Amino acid sequence: MCTLHPDYSFVPRWRPPFITALAAEDRCHLNGLALVSGERGELSPRYVTALGETDTRDGWRANKPHGGILMDIPSGEIVARGLSMPHSPRLHDGRLWLLESGTGRLVLVDTATGKWQSIVELPGFARGLSIVGPYAFIGLSKIREKSAMTGVPLAERRDQLKCGVAVVDMRDAQVVAFLEFQTAVEEIFDVQVLPGLRFPEVIGFQQETIQHTFIVPKS
């Protein structure tokens, strides 16, 4: 984890205790961050997900199906192991939620015991989670054709996967809405709910692609 600096590319602030050096080697694939609110409403980092507890170049790739971990930042301790490519940890109503990208599942973790339970399984590589009230907005992606996903459970359903955003009612684990991208978009990396906005712009697309993919109102 790092922060920005006007004179440097970044300033290192924290790394997992098992990582012995800062190097551009993708040693554990640290990929998700959960923030917690303090007494004054300030946000601070609390949990992170990584695809492996490894300290070698691309070491996490050898055990993608079950090598994922959830870590507590202040203590540096590993809260849960054995996750399948975990992503997007989020604290909501005092509970810790995350996505198992390798299974397409929304998961609830008991941070006291390290045990977790699957809430719902979705038809996509789950990555990007935003929670509003009782609803979880979850980004789903297809698996790249040349992606090495040997042993990952979701790869068995490769031909059935969809790209879009699923809305899950966490009270009864039901999918209540689903927005599917049928052309142009095959991967989603994050999802954020923008309160008060009905027709936001799509960043990163050329105008012609936007018009062919989405209906953008004139007013």
Enclosing domain of residue 149 = 14-213
Residue 156 has pLDDT above 80, yes or no: yes
* Total-model pTM: 0.87
Higher pLDDT, 113 or 201: 113
> Residue 2 domain-assigned?
no
> Residue 146 domain-assigned?
yes
Q: Residue 219: which pLDDT band, with cuts at 50, 70 and 90?
A: very low
Which CATH number do you get for residue 194?
2.120.10
> Residue 158 domain-assigned?
yes
User: Residues 7-34, buried b or exposed e (16+ Cβ, 10 A)?
Assistant: eeeeeeeebbebbeeeeeebbbbbbbeb
Contact 98, 114 (CB under 8 A): no
* Phi, psi of 160, rounded to the nearest 5 degrees: -105, -5
Count of domains observed in the chain: 1
Chain segment 40-86, per-residue pLDDT in tens:
888 999 999 999 999 999 999 999 999 999 999 999 999 999 999 99
* Phi, psi of 156, rounded to the nearest 5 degrees: -70, -20
Angle, vertex CA 115, rays to CA 110 and CA 116, nearest 5: 75
Distance in angstroms (rounded) separating the CA atoms of residues 97 and 78: 16
